[in-house]
Structure 1
């Protein structure tokens, strides 16, 4: 389980997240929605321990992520195929297999899992190619493999669909649902309403650094025609 309690995070004295409280329960697939600049990436970085709140708390299985003796075995993180500062970001000169082996060694994970996750994400045939030669979709799959490497009970993804083709999107949809059905807490930032509508158990809307909605998908959509309409109605300024 992952949670925040009154978490506030800022840069240069300017708050980016203000008093954010939420919970991603075990066995639940929770999506984070919000426009650009809403604070989504900051929230994900705080939840995986890359940023610390100035107020409030961030907890992973009841403990701040930076206090876990082996954080990689507690939370799997993929912040995007080309995310700057991502803890799973690969060296372009390394092969996909070498990158995962390095992560396994650094995180105290059994190296034998590398080949298994390469198969799971569909990269077994390309495991010995340089990451520099990977397409965006292949780099996306490699990042997902890194997040799954330790078989952690909590998983965070930032826009994991980017770069995937139609078959890849279907594969990811099934993977995410399976992770939650296996009992993991799964938290995903996305802007694709169709994908959220297909798989979400719960939806959290972040706007201007604050939580504006936290509800089951059915509750959030309510009487609206669809998820996108419900979202736009929520964040639309009054009077428009």
Structure 2
């Protein structure tokens, strides 16, 4: 992925990692289109930063289809999709009251990713060179017990990415997987601090890895213990450590 000359669509880029990545890619020279559900926020970010914008709700198949058509029409040079949108909710599995959160999480994190790729892949395959960047999590590999469906959807995104990459061997589309650790954002709600690394430090590493041509997984140093815990034989210890933290 040439971050100095890409045309990138990032749904879920109105805050947190998504917005930070959008700003960094734009600064590097790429044209960036961001997507989100709140029109007023999109308009504010467009006015402040010059982004292209589109309204999109990745839990709604019709919204994804409409947004894809709009983005591709307005930006025919589009060559990169980053499936950033995601939600993270705590669930108590001892009570069925968690099921609504589980359904929402699967709809947004997993089905949203699949539907976004379906909507944009025909166009990306028509480009001389293109990139799909999926977004999983270190918790896909070593879960946080308090957020079971989030972990599961991110593990599924990882597996889906492996299959997508293999199916696209020989095509013009490269497939990368961004695997964030805990990052200090509002993913679990405003004011919820779960010990994440500073956003700017995370973005510094991500951009350096993208510039270096790192593939197929974009792994900052902080996520390596989670990514390789099963291999290293300390996964259960890390699961217990994560579970013992206050959230």
Taking structure 2 as the reference length, the TM-score comes to 0.28
Greater helix percent: which structure? 2
Taking structure 1 as the reference length, the TM-score comes to 0.28
Structure with bigger RCO (C-alpha 8 Å, 6+ apart): 1
